[in-house]
Amino acid sequence: MWPGPSEGDVVRFDRAALREVVSISDELGVLSFYVTVDPRADPGSRPAWRIKFANDLGELRGRAEADPERARRTAVLKRLDGLERDFHALLDPSRPGVGRVLFAPVGRDEARTFSFQLPVADQMVLEATAYVRPLVNTVETAPPAGIVVVSRDGTRVVDYRYGQAEDLGGMRFEIDSDDWRDPGGPSRTDYPSHGTPYRDRFEKRVADNVARLTREAGQRVAEEAANRGWTATVVLGDPPLGEILAGELSGDVIQLGSVAEPGSPTKLVERVRPQLEQARTRLGALLAGQARDGALSGGRGSLGLADTLGALNDSRVAQLLLDESREWSGRCAADGLLYPPYATPPGNPEITEEPRMGERMIERALDIDAEVIVLDGGAAEALADVDGVGAILRW
């Protein structure tokens, strides 16, 4: 739609990137690092988050050294040594982003790093696959949304997702042109001398054309909202222009008053953050309600861990709903199917206990091209009595 400025060297995160991360696996394991830095810190100082990272890294090395499997022990320790440069960049407060994430397969000399203007839960994990649930929890606090500022001069549009705000530019309203003037009437420079009727007619013509351009801008914003998957759109502008533009949009549209100085995209996000957080809760509650209604009516919904795992195994899940504050345990069969605790799968296949079933559910959902929705406290109340998990099904 409109070109926007670059975000420096921050790696843009989207759902496609999440699917790529979930696919990272290695027979020797994948190292996942999460750290939140303070950008105001002196790069040469030792703030608390640096000290914690060093301590956690020491503990991770200790666990690796205690691994009885020699080949894996050697590979993990060698990989950690080889990541020193990546760790330096990860902890550098002068680089973009507050929350930093690094994924590194043990058996391959490659790594994926993401930065967000959102904090992450500090931790280090070595598992067979990349550990993504903290990443999903983080980005779901700020799902894709749009912010539109409208005035008589035109519009400005900001895309906000996963902690990154991008100025998309906008549409300028050109009102000083001959085709806006009353045919046969005075020019803009001399109409005051001809009296109020001419002035009123000219101003009405200008207002009508501003309204027309506002509707056109609203239609373009609606297209952008659909293309970018906005879950909510905030419109900033005094009536009637804000109302005109909002009338061209669908979905969760939040209309606010105008702002004297919109400032940077980040300042605009801060201005509307409470409304975006409320929109996230509304969307989550709506989806949880749809899952509940579908399940109770025998339709396209599931409730609880057992039923939702069954739907995931059958690839029927369209949207997986998870309470951000809960963790689940269960069992995994050798063929990748997921089961609740103590369940005995048909045929008695080889099975292992799984203490992080939330992680496995996310992996399975993304593998079948389902959407993962993390519910905040307000939205998760609808699933509080069913393990904090549910789904909207494809059939």
Looking up residue 230, the CATH number of its domain turns out to be 3.30.420.60
Give a yes or no: residue 2 inside a domain.
no
Q: Are residues 129 and 27 in the same domain?
A: yes
pLDDT-derived band at 160 (thresholds 50, 70, 90) equals very high
Give a yes or no: residue 79 inside a domain.
yes
Q: Are residues 191 and 128 in the same domain?
A: no
Give a yes or no: residue 361 inside a domain.
yes
Rounded Cα distance between 22 and 225, Å, is 27
DSSP 142: S
Q: Are residues 190 and 221 in the same domain?
A: yes
- Bridge partners for 375 per DSSP: 323
Q: Tens of pLDDT along 140-155?
A: 999 999 999 999 999 9
**Per the structure, how many domains does the chain have?**
3
Q: Are residues 20 and 135 in the same domain?
A: yes
Q: Tens of pLDDT along 219-256?
A: 999 999 999 999 999 999 988 999 999 999 999 999 99
DSSP 10: P
CB 328 within 8 A of CB 357: yes
| For residue 133, pLDDT beyond 90 | yes
Q: What percent of the chain has pLDDT over 70?
A: 91
* pLDDT at position 196: 67
Q: Are residues 324 and 366 in the same domain?
A: yes
Last residue of a domain, one of 139, 174, 206: 139
Sign of CA dihedral 270, 275, 277, 283: negative
| For residue 2, pLDDT beyond 60 | no
Give a yes or no: residue 8 inside a domain.
no
Last residue of a domain, one of 195, 228, 262: 262
CATH code of 80's domain: 3.30.960.10
Rounded Cα distance between 6 and 286, Å, is 35
Give a yes or no: residue 88 inside a domain.
yes
Q: Are residues 119 and 170 in the same domain?
A: no
| For residue 195, pLDDT beyond 80 | no
Which residues constitute the domain of residue 202? 145-262
Last residue of a domain, one of 92, 114, 139: 139
CB 382 within 8 A of CB 286: no
